[in-house]
């Protein structure tokens, strides 16, 4: 019976060790997921910064173009009243440019808002995933602590 008891304890010990190894593997996997989430967050933040910079550059360029067109119209009026046909044409171009600018700006703002919303949703999902992974990690750590306690008790009993 002592030999059977030893075998039973050995079997139980092997099962405990297998579960501990599985828990360790899950812990490593959850850490990898957390690292991936962090890397994805950084990538999204970089994309967002790039988009904001592009919008600022485009707005600056549009403002510069609009200002230059208005100055051309004013200069044309001052130079010669006979060029009213040309001035009218330039006004039409200017208004068209302003409308296109406004349209482009609205489109860019709409696109940015959509991308910001998507990035926000993705960030929320990543935060939720991170929280879930942290919860799982704590559960695994708790299980490992319990298992360690059981193992120590078994080892103590085996010594007795």
pTM score > 0.75 for this model? no
* Contact partners, residue 52, CB within 8 Å, separation at least 6: 112
For the CA atoms of 106, 109, 114, 120, the dihedral, rounded to the nearest 10 degrees, stands at: -160
Taking 90 as the threshold, does the pLDDT of residue 74 lie above it?
no
Cα angle 73-76-80, degrees, rounded to a multiple of 5: 150
- Please state the rounded mean pLDDT for residues 24-48: 93
Taking 90 as the threshold, does the pLDDT of residue 72 lie above it?
no
Taking 80 as the threshold, does the pLDDT of residue 105 lie above it?
yes
With a pLDDT cut of 70, the percent of the chain lying above it is 93
Taking 90 as the threshold, does the pLDDT of residue 95 lie above it?
yes
């Amino acid at each position: 019976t002592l030999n059977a008891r030893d075998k039973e304890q050995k079997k139980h010990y092997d099962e405990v060790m297998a579960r501990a190894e599985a828990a360790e593997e899950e812990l490593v996997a959850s850490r990898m997921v957390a690292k991936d989430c962090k890397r994805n967050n950084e990538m999204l933040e970089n994309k967002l910064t790039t988009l904001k910079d592009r919008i600022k550059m485009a707005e600056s360029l549009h403002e510069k173009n609009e200002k230059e067109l208005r100055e051309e119209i004013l200069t044309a009026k001052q130079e010669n009243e006979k060029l009213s046909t040309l001035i009218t044409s330039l006004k039409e171009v200017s208004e068209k440019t302003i409308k296109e600018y406004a349209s482009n700006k609205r489109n860019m703002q709409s696109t940015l808002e959509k991308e910001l919303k998507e990035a926000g949703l993705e960030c929320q999902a990543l935060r939720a995933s991170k929280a879930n992974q942290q919860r799982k990690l704590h559960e695994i750590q708790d299980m490992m602590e319990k298992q360690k306690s059981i193992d120590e008790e078994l080892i103590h009993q085996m010594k007795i």
